[in-house]
Each structure stands twice: as C-alpha cells, then as structure tokens.
C-alpha cells in the first residue's frame, strides 16, 4: 500500500482536466475569457441559481459577499465557531463583528435554536456554514432572517451537491459560496464561486473581483475592488470537474459506506452523522472518540496512525480560541462548550475518491488496534 494513498485527501484529476487546461493555455486567452463565462453558467445551473460569479478562492467569495451586502464596522454577523477560519475572517475583513452560536452536537452545524437570543439591533446577517457537507437547518435560518430582516450567506465551501428539502445548498439564502481548494470535493487548484438569484448582488461581486471596475465600461472604476479573478485554465478544469461531480460524490459516498461497515460498533468511536437520504455531501470522514478519551489520547492515536503511514487531521480547532480572536474579542475557553468538546476528540481519517475497500479496512483495523493502547488507562 503506497503511503500517498493514505493521505488525508487527494484531488481526482483525470486526463480530461489536463487536456482542458492545455487547450486553454494554447488558446492565448488565459483570463476573463469564454471558459470563465461557461463555468459560471454551468455552476449556476448545477446549484439552481440565476447567477454565479467565479472568484480566486472561497475566502475571496465570502469577502465579496460581506462587502457587497454593505456589512461594515459596528455590524454583527451570526455564525459558527466550529468551522474553517475563513468563514469568520471574512467578517473581520470589513471590521464587522462575528457573533458565534454554539453547535448542535449531532450535526456540528450551529444550533439554530440559539440564534435568536444573539440578535441585537446591530445584527445584519446570518452566515450559515454547512460544515463537513451537512446542511444547516435552513428552514429555521430563513424564518429567523425574515423575521429580523437579516441577510443569509451560505458558506457551502464544504458542501457542493448537498441538499436541504430538495434544494441544493448555495441556492437557499441571499447567496452562497463554494470553494475549490484541492482537498474539497472538486478542485481548480485554488478557486471559488458565488451563487445567487440576485442579479444586482452578482453584478457588484463581479465588479469587486475585478478591481471595482464597472461591468459596462472597463475604464471606469466605480468602487474599491480587488483582484479576485479566476484564470480561464482554472475555469476549464472546473468545468470538467463539475461535469464529473455527481460521479465523484457517489464515489465519496461509497468510501464513507465502507468506513461505516468497518468501524460500525467499535467501542469508543462515534461515527459521523449519515442522513440515509443522501442529503449530505461527503467532505471528510470525521470520527469522534467517546467521552472516555481526552484530547491527549486523540493526539496519541493520531501519532500511532502516522507511524503506520496513515495521515489524519485534527478538525477543527475552534475559531474563538485562535489567539487573535481571543485578544481582539476577549473569547476564552468555556465560551462555546459543545464546539470545544467536539474539537477535542474529533479526528479526520484519510478520505478521497481513490481509496479502496481494503485500504479503508486497513485504516479501520489500525484505529481499533491503537485505540486499545491509548485507552488502556481508561479500561483498566
Ligand atoms: C475551504 C473553506 C473555506 C475557504 O475556501 P478557500 O478556497 O480555501 O479560500 C471557507 N469556509 C469553509 C467552511 C471551508 O471549508
């Protein structure tokens, strides 16, 4: 078994993506060309929105939206502390304040029943993170947003293809964002897409990604903008990946099923949430050690697995406990206990399209073997 196959993630790049990139590189049109337009059209069609705007990363997409919605200093945005840091940083970019809501221990998405108590006259938006490809309770989010007149941004960076009541994530709130870093379900190397039904909002994002240019007159700069453009060869890769996405998601689902089969009933291991309806989009395979284990046990287990060539990840370190969040906002340990407990004992196992059933079995065996050792003091 080659060690590379035991890596945490691995992009699925076929000959078609390589050919598409080469074709664009030979065409001479490397940016703001036809491939970009087509990629946007195809993304909008896939997600089910009227508009899509491609950008250089998921973070850039989130920033464009926060900016385009006019969220600024003094404003508050409600979001989750159990996420990749970019989903909160995009609020800080505009000097607004992230207001965290602790998570639901089952879905690991923010607990929508705890949102309303955090709303103040300064609240402008809810930034819902569909974490690990599990959709948030969007009915509640939309209902609360409507009642309090708030925008809804969906961070769907880990959730392409996931659905909430038959609608794809990214098409439910005012806008959604997808990301294409190589560990995501599909990749363009770096990249992202904003999806929305609001043509005016899409127009502002289109201008923001291209230095604030007018989308009508390229010598007119209407606002302070950025260079958040995606190249045409990345767009071409994205088009092929999108064409293959359902098949790639199906493969990921199968790998998840093998993990369930291999780890089912193992004492001390809590398996991730699985809807059974296929509503989630498998991003990573995150197991949780039971309460008998500490974060030190988890880290020892990770170390032992690494010695067997199995790479794992400690997802996620809570955002509110990052040093600059603590110093800027005064967050401290104990502020969001469900998030902190989940973060202490969770661990991502290798998870990508190319894993075989035997490899999954091998990983599961090693998890069981080493778990006995790290747990010795617990079991006597
Ligand atoms: C990956 C990710 C992002 C950011 O995407 P980049 O393309 O890496 O900038 C934002 N939010 C979440 C939840 C992510 O997982």
Q: What is the per-residue pLDDT for 158?
A: 98
What's the pLDDT band for 274 if we cut at 50, 70, 90?
confident
The CA 217 to ligand 1 mean position distance, Å, reads 32
Average pLDDT over residues 252-257: 97
User: Ligand 1, atom 6: nearest CA belongs to which residue?
Assistant: 58
Average pLDDT over residues 57-63: 98
pLDDT digits (tens, 9 = 90+) for 154-188: 999 999 999 999 999 999 999 999 999 999 999 99
Neighbours of 18 (CB within 10 A): 12
108 CB less than 6 Å from ligand 1? no
Q: What is the per-residue pLDDT for 3?
A: 47
> Please, what is the angle between helix 295-307 and helix 337-345, to 10°?
30
User: Ligand 1, atom 2: nearest CA belongs to which residue?
Assistant: 157
The answer, yes or no, to whether residue 296 has pLDDT greater than 80, is: yes
The CA 59 to ligand 1 mean position distance, Å, reads 6
The answer, yes or no, to whether residue 23 has pLDDT greater than 50, is: yes
351 CB less than 6 Å from ligand 1? no
Q: What is the per-residue pLDDT for 275?
A: 81
Atom of ligand 1 nearest to the CA of 61: 9
The answer, yes or no, to whether residue 4 has pLDDT greater than 60, is: no
188 CB less than 6 Å from ligand 1? no
The CA 58 to ligand 1 mean position distance, Å, reads 5
What's the pLDDT band for 376 if we cut at 50, 70, 90?
low
Average pLDDT over residues 242-251: 97
The CA 57 to ligand 1 mean position distance, Å, reads 8
The answer, yes or no, to whether residue 380 has pLDDT greater than 90, is: no
158 CB less than 6 Å from ligand 1? yes
What's the pLDDT band for 378 if we cut at 50, 70, 90?
low
**Spatial CA neighbour of 79 closest among 155, 156, 148:** 155
The answer, yes or no, to whether residue 189 has pLDDT greater than 90, is: yes
pLDDT digits (tens, 9 = 90+) for 206-246: 999 999 999 888 899 999 999 999 999 999 999 999 999 99
Most ligand 1 atoms within 8 A of CB, residue of 61, 86, 238, 241 to mutate? 86
What's the mean pLDDT when you consider all of the chain?
A: 95
| HEC letters along the chain | CCHHHHCCCCCCCCHHHHHHHHHHHHHCCCECCHHHHHHHHHHHHHHCCCEEEEECCHHHHHHHHHHHCCCCCCCEEEECCCCCCHHHHHHHCCCCEEEECCECCCCCCECHHHCHHHCCCCEEEEEEECHHHCCCCHHHHHHHHHHHCCEEEEECCCCCCCEECCEECCCCCCEEEEECCCCCCCCCCCCEEEEECCHHHHHHHHHHHECCECCCCCCCECCCCCECCCEHHHHHHHHHHHHCHHHHHHHHHHHHHHHHHHHCCCCCEECCCCCCCCCCCCCCEEEEECCCCCHHHHHHHHHHHHHCCCCCECCCCCHHHCHHHHHHHCCCCCCCHHHHHHHHHEEEECCCCCCCHHHHHHHHHHHHHHHHHHCHHHHC
Atom of ligand 1 nearest to the CA of 62: 10
Q: What is the per-residue pLDDT for 377?
A: 56
What are the distances in angstroms from CA 227 to CA 56, 59, 78?
8, 13, 27
Residues sharing a CB contact under 8 Å with residue 336, sequence separation 6 or more, in sequence order: 81, 82, 100, 102, 103, 318, 320
Neighbours of 277 (CB within 10 A): 7
CA 202 to chain CA centroid, Å, is 21
155 CB less than 6 Å from ligand 1? yes
């Amino acid at each position: 078994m080659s060690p590379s196959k035991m890596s945490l993630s691995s992009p699925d790049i076929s000959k078609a993506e390589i050919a598409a990139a080469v074709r664009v590189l030979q065409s001479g049109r490397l940016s703001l060309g036809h491939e970009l337009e087509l990629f946007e059209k195809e993304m909008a069609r896939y997600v089910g929105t009227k508009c899509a705007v491609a950008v250089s990363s998921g973070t850039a997409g989130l920033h464009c939206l926060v900016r385009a919605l006019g969220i600024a200093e003094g404003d508050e945005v409600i979001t989750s502390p159990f996420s990749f840091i970019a989903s909160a940083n995009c609020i800080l970019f505009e000097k607004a304040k992230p207001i965290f809501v602790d998570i639901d221990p089952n879905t690991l998405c923010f607990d929508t029943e705890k949102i309303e108590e955090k709303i103040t006259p300064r609240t402008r938006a809810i930034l819902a993170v569909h974490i690990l490809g599990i959709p948030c309770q969007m009915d509640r989010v939309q209902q609360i947003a409507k009642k309090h007149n708030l925008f809804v941004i969906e961070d769907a960076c880990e959730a392409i293809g996931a659905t909430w009541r038959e609608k794809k994530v990214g098409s439910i709130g005012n806008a959604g964002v997808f990301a294409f870093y190589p560990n995501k379900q599909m990749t363009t190397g770096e990249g992202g897409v904003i999806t929305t039904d609001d043509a005016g909002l899409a127009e502002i994002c289109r201008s923001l990604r291209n230095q604030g240019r007018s989308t009508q007159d390229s010598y007119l700069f209407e606002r302070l903008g950025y260079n958040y453009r995606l190249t045409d060869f990345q767009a071409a890769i994205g088009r092929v990946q999108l064409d293959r996405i359902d098949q790639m998601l199906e493969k990921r689902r199968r790998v998840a099923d093998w993990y369930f089969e291999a780890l089912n009933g193992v004492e001390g291991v809590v398996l991730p949430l699985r809807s059974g309806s296929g509503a989630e989009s498998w991003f990573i395979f995150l197991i949780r050690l039971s309460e008998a284990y500490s974060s030190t046990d988890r880290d020892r287990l990770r170390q032992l697995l690494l010695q067997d060539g199995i790479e794992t990840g400690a997802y996620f370190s809570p955002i509110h406990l990052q040093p600059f969040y603590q110093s800027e906002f005064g967050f401290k340990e104990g502020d969001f206990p469900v998030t902190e407990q989940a973060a202490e004992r969770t661990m991502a196992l290798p998870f990508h399209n190319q894993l075989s059933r035997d490899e999954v079995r091998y990983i599961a065996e090693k998890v069981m073997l080493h778990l006995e050792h790290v747990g010795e003091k617990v079991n006597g």
